[in-house]
Amino acid sequence: MRPHFLSSVQNPTITLDAQPAPIRLELAKSAVLVVDMQNDFAARSGMLDRLGVDISMIQRSVGPTANVLAAARQAGIPVVYLKMSFCPDLSDLGAVDSPNRVRHLWAGVGESMRAPDGTQSRILIRDTWNTAILPELEPQVTDVVIYKHRYSGFYETALDAILQRMGVKTLIVTGCTTSVCVESTVRDAMFRDYHCVLLADCMGEPIGDGLPRSNHEASLLVIQRQFGWVSDSAELINALGQLIAEVAVA
Protein backbone atom coordinates (compact mmCIF):
# COMPACT_ATOMS: atom_id res chain seq x y z
CA MET A 1 0.00 0.00 0.00
CA ARG A 2 1.15 3.54 -0.70
CA PRO A 3 1.62 5.76 2.37
CA HIS A 4 -0.87 8.46 3.28
CA PHE A 5 1.00 11.35 1.71
CA LEU A 6 0.90 9.79 -1.75
CA SER A 7 -2.77 8.92 -1.55
CA SER A 8 -3.65 12.35 -0.21
CA VAL A 9 -1.75 14.37 -2.84
CA GLN A 10 -3.14 14.68 -6.32
CA ASN A 11 -0.58 13.39 -8.82
CA PRO A 12 2.58 13.79 -6.68
CA THR A 13 5.62 14.52 -8.84
CA ILE A 14 9.31 15.22 -8.50
CA THR A 15 11.83 16.61 -10.97
CA LEU A 16 15.30 15.11 -11.16
CA ASP A 17 18.40 16.81 -12.48
CA ALA A 18 19.56 14.32 -15.09
CA GLN A 19 21.34 13.90 -18.38
CA PRO A 20 20.52 14.83 -21.10
CA ALA A 21 17.89 17.02 -19.38
CA PRO A 22 15.85 17.19 -16.18
CA ILE A 23 12.99 14.71 -16.05
CA ARG A 24 9.66 14.92 -14.24
CA LEU A 25 8.49 11.74 -12.52
CA GLU A 26 4.89 10.98 -11.62
CA LEU A 27 5.38 8.86 -8.51
CA ALA A 28 2.13 6.96 -8.94
CA LYS A 29 3.40 5.78 -12.33
CA SER A 30 6.98 4.99 -11.27
CA ALA A 31 8.77 1.90 -9.96
CA VAL A 32 12.32 1.09 -8.89
CA LEU A 33 13.86 -1.76 -10.88
CA VAL A 34 16.70 -3.70 -9.22
CA VAL A 35 18.59 -5.75 -11.81
CA ASP A 36 20.45 -8.91 -10.73
CA MET A 37 21.87 -7.69 -7.43
CA GLN A 38 22.44 -11.29 -6.37
CA ASN A 39 25.24 -13.29 -4.81
CA ASP A 40 26.61 -14.74 -8.06
CA PHE A 41 27.40 -11.25 -9.33
CA ALA A 42 28.02 -9.13 -6.26
CA ALA A 43 29.16 -11.37 -3.39
CA ARG A 44 32.41 -13.06 -2.50
CA SER A 45 32.33 -16.72 -3.57
CA GLY A 46 29.69 -15.94 -6.19
CA MET A 47 30.14 -16.79 -9.85
CA LEU A 48 32.02 -13.64 -10.90
CA ASP A 49 34.27 -13.71 -7.87
CA ARG A 50 35.08 -17.40 -8.48
CA LEU A 51 36.06 -16.48 -12.04
CA GLY A 52 38.55 -13.94 -10.71
CA VAL A 53 36.48 -10.91 -11.77
CA ASP A 54 36.90 -7.71 -9.77
CA ILE A 55 33.42 -7.02 -8.36
CA SER A 56 34.40 -4.07 -6.17
CA MET A 57 32.57 -1.57 -8.38
CA ILE A 58 29.35 -3.58 -8.02
CA GLN A 59 29.81 -3.84 -4.28
CA ARG A 60 30.25 -0.06 -4.07
CA SER A 61 26.78 0.35 -5.53
CA VAL A 62 25.11 -1.63 -2.73
CA GLY A 63 25.03 1.19 -0.17
CA PRO A 64 23.53 3.82 -2.50
CA THR A 65 21.01 1.27 -3.76
CA ALA A 66 19.92 0.40 -0.23
CA ASN A 67 19.38 4.11 0.46
CA VAL A 68 17.30 4.43 -2.71
CA LEU A 69 15.14 1.46 -1.76
CA ALA A 70 14.50 2.88 1.71
CA ALA A 71 13.49 6.26 0.26
CA ALA A 72 11.33 4.69 -2.43
CA ARG A 73 9.47 2.52 0.06
CA GLN A 74 8.89 5.51 2.32
CA ALA A 75 7.40 7.34 -0.66
CA GLY A 76 5.27 4.34 -1.65
CA ILE A 77 7.13 3.68 -4.91
CA PRO A 78 6.95 -0.04 -5.74
CA VAL A 79 10.14 -2.08 -6.07
CA VAL A 80 10.64 -4.78 -8.69
CA TYR A 81 13.58 -7.19 -8.58
CA LEU A 82 15.03 -9.15 -11.49
CA LYS A 83 17.04 -12.32 -10.81
CA MET A 84 19.20 -14.00 -13.44
CA SER A 85 18.72 -17.72 -12.87
CA PHE A 86 18.05 -21.00 -14.60
CA CYS A 87 15.98 -24.09 -13.95
CA PRO A 88 17.86 -26.94 -12.23
CA ASP A 89 17.75 -29.02 -15.42
CA LEU A 90 19.05 -26.05 -17.49
CA SER A 91 16.05 -26.41 -19.81
CA ASP A 92 15.82 -22.64 -20.20
CA LEU A 93 19.51 -22.12 -20.95
CA GLY A 94 19.07 -22.40 -24.71
CA ALA A 95 19.89 -24.84 -27.49
CA VAL A 96 23.13 -26.82 -27.37
CA ASP A 97 24.96 -24.38 -29.63
CA SER A 98 23.21 -21.19 -28.51
CA PRO A 99 25.49 -18.33 -27.39
CA ASN A 100 23.54 -18.03 -24.13
CA ARG A 101 24.20 -21.69 -23.23
CA VAL A 102 27.82 -21.73 -24.41
CA ARG A 103 28.82 -18.57 -22.54
CA HIS A 104 27.03 -19.50 -19.33
CA LEU A 105 28.40 -23.04 -19.28
CA TRP A 106 31.88 -21.55 -19.67
CA ALA A 107 31.13 -19.42 -16.60
CA GLY A 108 30.13 -22.51 -14.62
CA VAL A 109 26.34 -22.33 -14.62
CA GLY A 110 24.83 -25.36 -12.90
CA GLU A 111 28.04 -26.38 -11.12
CA SER A 112 27.64 -27.46 -7.52
CA MET A 113 29.42 -25.59 -4.73
CA ARG A 114 29.26 -25.03 -1.01
CA ALA A 115 27.93 -21.57 -0.24
CA PRO A 116 29.52 -19.35 2.43
CA ASP A 117 26.62 -20.23 4.75
CA GLY A 118 27.57 -23.90 4.50
CA THR A 119 24.67 -25.02 2.32
CA GLN A 120 25.00 -26.88 -0.95
CA SER A 121 24.29 -24.58 -3.85
CA ARG A 122 24.61 -24.32 -7.63
CA ILE A 123 25.84 -21.47 -9.79
CA LEU A 124 23.03 -19.39 -11.33
CA ILE A 125 20.34 -21.92 -10.41
CA ARG A 126 16.97 -20.80 -9.07
CA ASP A 127 16.24 -20.80 -5.37
CA THR A 128 19.85 -21.25 -4.25
CA TRP A 129 22.30 -19.06 -2.34
CA ASN A 130 23.89 -18.13 -5.66
CA THR A 131 20.80 -16.44 -7.05
CA ALA A 132 19.56 -14.93 -3.78
CA ILE A 133 19.43 -11.13 -3.61
CA LEU A 134 22.18 -9.61 -1.46
CA PRO A 135 21.10 -9.43 2.21
CA GLU A 136 21.58 -5.64 2.24
CA LEU A 137 18.99 -5.35 -0.54
CA GLU A 138 16.67 -8.16 0.51
CA PRO A 139 13.17 -7.91 -1.02
CA GLN A 140 10.23 -7.19 1.24
CA VAL A 141 6.95 -9.09 1.11
CA THR A 142 5.29 -6.33 -0.91
CA ASP A 143 8.02 -6.25 -3.57
CA VAL A 144 7.84 -8.06 -6.90
CA VAL A 145 10.55 -10.62 -7.75
CA ILE A 146 10.87 -11.92 -11.32
CA TYR A 147 13.18 -14.63 -12.62
CA LYS A 148 14.79 -14.13 -16.01
CA HIS A 149 16.96 -16.43 -18.15
CA ARG A 150 18.40 -13.93 -20.61
CA TYR A 151 20.15 -10.61 -20.14
CA SER A 152 16.98 -8.57 -20.72
CA GLY A 153 14.35 -8.63 -18.02
CA PHE A 154 11.64 -8.48 -20.67
CA TYR A 155 12.62 -11.62 -22.59
CA GLU A 156 10.06 -14.38 -21.95
CA THR A 157 9.06 -12.95 -18.55
CA ALA A 158 5.95 -11.34 -17.09
CA LEU A 159 7.76 -8.05 -16.42
CA ASP A 160 5.91 -5.99 -19.04
CA ALA A 161 2.50 -7.35 -18.03
CA ILE A 162 3.17 -6.74 -14.35
CA LEU A 163 4.33 -3.16 -14.94
CA GLN A 164 1.26 -2.47 -17.06
CA ARG A 165 -1.05 -3.79 -14.34
CA MET A 166 0.73 -1.54 -11.86
CA GLY A 167 0.28 1.45 -14.15
CA VAL A 168 4.05 2.04 -14.34
CA LYS A 169 5.41 4.32 -17.04
CA THR A 170 8.79 5.24 -15.54
CA LEU A 171 11.49 2.86 -14.32
CA ILE A 172 14.12 4.05 -11.86
CA VAL A 173 16.87 1.58 -12.72
CA THR A 174 19.58 0.14 -10.46
CA GLY A 175 21.63 -3.05 -10.64
CA CYS A 176 24.33 -4.94 -12.47
CA THR A 177 26.00 -5.15 -14.74
CA THR A 178 25.66 -1.78 -16.44
CA SER A 179 26.57 -2.73 -20.01
CA VAL A 180 25.04 -6.22 -20.02
CA CYS A 181 21.82 -6.95 -18.11
CA VAL A 182 21.03 -3.34 -17.20
CA GLU A 183 21.55 -1.98 -20.70
CA SER A 184 19.77 -4.93 -22.32
CA THR A 185 16.75 -4.38 -20.09
CA VAL A 186 16.73 -0.62 -20.61
CA ARG A 187 16.83 -0.97 -24.38
CA ASP A 188 13.88 -3.36 -24.29
CA ALA A 189 12.04 -1.03 -21.91
CA MET A 190 12.52 1.93 -24.26
CA PHE A 191 11.20 -0.16 -27.17
CA ARG A 192 8.04 -0.64 -25.06
CA ASP A 193 7.75 3.11 -24.38
CA TYR A 194 8.89 3.12 -20.77
CA HIS A 195 10.88 6.08 -19.50
CA CYS A 196 14.07 4.82 -17.86
CA VAL A 197 16.09 6.83 -15.35
CA LEU A 198 19.38 5.15 -14.44
CA LEU A 199 21.05 5.97 -11.13
CA ALA A 200 24.73 5.89 -12.05
CA ASP A 201 26.07 5.19 -8.55
CA CYS A 202 23.61 2.32 -8.06
CA MET A 203 25.16 0.08 -10.71
CA GLY A 204 28.53 -1.29 -11.74
CA GLU A 205 30.31 -3.01 -14.63
CA PRO A 206 33.51 -5.09 -14.37
CA ILE A 207 34.07 -5.24 -18.15
CA GLY A 208 36.46 -2.49 -19.19
CA ASP A 209 36.61 -1.05 -15.69
CA GLY A 210 40.26 -0.07 -16.13
CA LEU A 211 39.90 1.58 -19.54
CA PRO A 212 40.22 5.36 -19.99
CA ARG A 213 36.44 5.31 -20.57
CA SER A 214 34.95 2.29 -18.84
CA ASN A 215 32.11 0.22 -20.24
CA HIS A 216 30.01 1.54 -17.35
CA GLU A 217 30.59 5.11 -18.51
CA ALA A 218 30.12 4.22 -22.17
CA SER A 219 26.79 2.51 -21.48
CA LEU A 220 25.53 5.48 -19.50
CA LEU A 221 26.56 7.81 -22.33
CA VAL A 222 24.71 5.73 -24.93
CA ILE A 223 21.62 5.51 -22.74
CA GLN A 224 21.43 9.24 -22.00
CA ARG A 225 21.88 9.97 -25.70
CA GLN A 226 19.40 7.43 -27.10
CA PHE A 227 17.44 5.38 -24.57
CA GLY A 228 16.74 7.25 -21.34
CA TRP A 229 18.11 9.51 -18.62
CA VAL A 230 20.99 9.27 -16.16
CA SER A 231 20.93 10.69 -12.63
CA ASP A 232 22.16 9.48 -9.23
CA SER A 233 20.89 8.30 -5.85
CA ALA A 234 21.39 11.61 -4.02
CA GLU A 235 19.28 13.46 -6.58
CA LEU A 236 16.38 11.03 -6.18
CA ILE A 237 16.58 10.81 -2.39
CA ASN A 238 16.74 14.59 -2.00
CA ALA A 239 13.78 15.13 -4.32
CA LEU A 240 11.67 12.57 -2.47
CA GLY A 241 12.69 14.04 0.90
CA GLN A 242 11.68 17.53 -0.16
CA LEU A 243 8.30 16.28 -1.33
CA ILE A 244 7.64 14.44 1.93
CA ALA A 245 8.65 17.52 3.94
CA GLU A 246 6.41 19.79 1.86
CA VAL A 247 3.42 17.52 2.33
CA ALA A 248 4.09 17.16 6.06
CA VAL A 249 3.81 20.92 6.65
CA ALA A 250 0.94 21.51 4.21
Cite the active site residues.
36, 148, 181
Residue 37 backbone phi and psi in degrees, to 5: -85, 70
Q: Count CB atoms within 10 A of the CB of residue 167.
A: 12
Q: Classify residue 124 as left (phi > 0), alpha (psi -120 to 50) or beta.
A: left
State residue 1's pLDDT score.
45
Cα separation, 121 vs 108, in Å, equals 12
pLDDT at residue 10 in the model: 78
CA gap 69, 33 in Å, rounded:
10
* Beta carbons of 77 and 199 less than 8 angstroms apart: no
221's CB contacts (< 8 A; 6+ apart) are none
82 bridge partner residues: 35, 146
Parallel, antiparallel, or unpaired: how do β-strands 23-26 and 13-16 relate?
Answer: antiparallel
Prediction pTM value: 0.95
End-to-end CA distance of the chain: 22
Tens of pLDDT along the chain (250 residues)?
455 455 667 789 999 999 999 999 999 999 999 999 999 999 999 999 999 999 999 999 999 999 999 999 999 999 999 999 999 999 999 999 999 999 999 999 999 999 999 999 999 999 999 999 999 999 999 999 999 999 999 999 999 999 999 999 999 999 999 999 999 999 999 999 999 999 999 999 999 999 999 999 999 999 999 999 999 999 999 999 999 888 877 6
Backbone angles phi, psi at 111, to 5 degrees: -65, 140
